[in-house]
Amino acid sequence: MKRIIAGLAGDGVGPEVFASARQVLDTLDDLFGLKLEFRQALIGGAALDAGHDTPLPDATLAACNAADAILLGAVGGPRWDDYPENQRPEQGLLALRRHFDLFGNLRPVLAHSALAHCSPLKADRLADTDIMIVRELTGGIYFGDKQQQPDQASDLCIYRRDEIERVARMACRIARERSGRLTSVDKANVLATSRLWRQVVGQVVAEEFPDIRLDHLLVDAAAMHLINAPSRFDVILTENMFGDILSDEASMIVGSLGLLPSASLNADGFGLYEPIHGSAPDIAGKDSANPYAMLLSVAMMLRHSLNATYAAETLERCIYSAWDRAVFTADLGGGYRTQQITEEICQALESANLNQRVAACYE
């Protein structure tokens, strides 16, 4: 049976990192017989530039509806800043999140020893950092009613109990597979939505996951501890805006926005996978974009939506091996180009598969 991937390259460096992902996936398909089928479509500014009046054309939505997973490069950039709010490239991504109810955003933050030189933290503070940030993705202030007048503006932040319950359950299941520790981040000393958040998360853990060790932390304290002692965290659960900010902060802990992948999942396990970095238009077309966040997003897609865990693990091992060999782009202090890293990873995958087959002959 074919595994269908809706490929949305998008804007800026999106097409370059997407091309890297496509080449790596083609290699994985050849090696492991994944039976992948790509159906590429337009999103964001690329759709607007092609003459569509929306950043999410009907044909793109249809391709996503027919897919087993969505792989996205990046959307947005300053060239579309003057478009009306409902036509901004980012609205295409927000519309996909709403349409597929992708309420749970997973952002792993892993400090690798070979990248310690890229972190602003001292090595002793960075050691043993391995965090999974679970961000609620379809509620909160980003999706609330908005009003803007010449002298004032407002954004409504609203959360329902069921929205909090389902993302809390997701975070608890992830925590159960790791160390069993969960930190819920809010601003309950000021915000009513955060007081509801804290109450509901506590109830879900007490009633359904009593084995999980839960602690609550205010978002400002969480931001401080992420810098001071990141290894104190295992799974972080938080609402939409706080998760957006904290995960970008966490990316700097490990060295670069170009290193962090993400998965946005619904209740059925359908997912949209993308690097957390933006479209970086200043380096678009220069073959200098860091592809690692995109390739790690591919690994998450293989694991969570395509039931190809072994391929995901093999890809991750090859990436970590490349880091050990200092195969880095400029943002990590190296001199490798995007395409060079892609070819290094493809060659490593082929070697890993050959070694595995040779080892099997002697078992």
Q: Could you say which of 187, 292, 331, 336 is catalytic?
A: 187
In sequence order, which residues have a C-beta less than 8 Å from that of residue 116 and are 6 or more positions away? 123, 126
Q: Could you say which of 26, 29, 155, 248 is catalytic?
A: 248
Pair 69, 36: CB distance under 8 Å: no
Q: Could you say which of 11, 186, 244, 331 is catalytic?
A: 244
- Select from 206, 250, 244 the least CA-distant residue to 232: 250
Encoded tokens for 311: 């391929």
Phi first, then psi: what are they for 262, rounded to 5°?
A: -155, 155
CA distance 241 to 243: 5
Measured from the Cβ of residue 339, the count of other Cβ atoms closer than 10 Å reads 14
In sequence order, which residues have a C-beta less than 8 Å from that of residue 21 and are 6 or more positions away? 71, 291, 294, 295, 297, 298
- Select from 345, 360, 363 the least CA-distant residue to 26: 345
> Is residue 101 among the annotated active site residues?
no
- Select from 225, 217, 223, 233 the least CA-distant residue to 129: 233
Q: Could you say which of 142, 155, 234, 320 is catalytic?
A: 142
> Is residue 244 among the annotated active site residues?
yes
> Is residue 82 among the annotated active site residues?
no
| Paired strand residues for 181 | 213
CA distance 157 to 138: 12
Q: Could you say which of 49, 162, 215, 220 is catalytic?
A: 220
List the catalytic residues: 142, 187, 220, 244, 248
